[in-house]
A and B are shown apart, each in its own frame.
Chain A
Amino acid sequence: EADIYQTPRYLVIGTGKKITLECSQTMGHDKMYWYQQDPGMELHLIHYSYGVNSTEKGDLSSESTVSRIRTEHFPLTLESARPSHTSQYLCASRGQVDSPLHFGNGTRLTVT
């Protein structure tokens, strides 16, 4: 029943490569989020968007960038991947403040 999709599910790349993690939702939600989660640790917000052409950095400093050209699409880009970027990246969306979050299945990134 997932209405929010992330690709790829797993990604192993070498240091210095540019990568884009895709996130799309079909619910028409204005609010979208990217979270980073290391194994056994809590989720940390790295980027969020309130709508088209709106993007903000989250609580956790990240070298990644995001764009929001269309409501349904919120890709995250790393210009030059490093081993410290190895983590799980989770995308989420919701319609209103304090409404339930919908999560994608995550992208597990390994940078060698």
Chain B
Amino acid sequence: KNEVEQSPQNLTAQEGEFITINCSYSVGISALHWLQQHPGGGIVSLFMLSSGKKKHGRLIATINIQEKHSSLHITASHPRDSAVYICAGRVGGGADGLTFGKGTHLIIQP
């Protein structure tokens, strides 16, 4: 079982809808990352957070450390938001590489 689980796996919505993607992790983490991967394969870091909430444009990320849960919200979604959204956390000690979720494949239809 992956230590970082995302839901839903796939999401199709209409332009303008409010989008929520969830990430749960089974062990303690020091920071959680939200990443965006476009069809070409390149990955962009959207947020890194260890508590509370962060906002950038139409994107909002929240984290609840006690519940081991984070959400990524997209307001006023647009077709250009279509991508795979990945959460990742550093789990435990040792290498500071990250454990990644499988991603949420988001399609926003015009």
| A interface, CB within 8 angstroms of B | 2, 31, 33, 40-45, 48, 56, 58-59, 88, 90, 92, 97-106, 108
Closest 10 CB pairs of A and B: A45-B97, A103-B43, A98-B31, A105-B42, A106-B41, A100-B45, A42-B100, A43-B100, A97-B96, A42-B102
Contact of A101 among B30, B33, B41, B103 (CB under 8 A): B33
A100 partner residues in chain B, CB cutoff 8 A = 33, 45, 48
Least CB distance, A16 to chain B, in whole angstroms = 26
| B interface, CB within 8 angstroms of A | 2, 30-31, 33, 35, 40-45, 48, 50, 86, 88, 90, 95-98, 100-103
A43 partner residues in chain B, CB cutoff 8 A = 86, 88, 98, 100
The CA of A1 and the CA of B69, in the complex, are separated in Å by: 31
Contact of B95 among A59, A101, A103, A108 (CB under 8 A): A59
Q: 9 A-B pairs, CB-CB below 8 angstroms? A: A42-B100, A42-B102, A42-B103, A45-B95, A56-B95, A92-B43, A101-B35, A101-B45, A103-B43
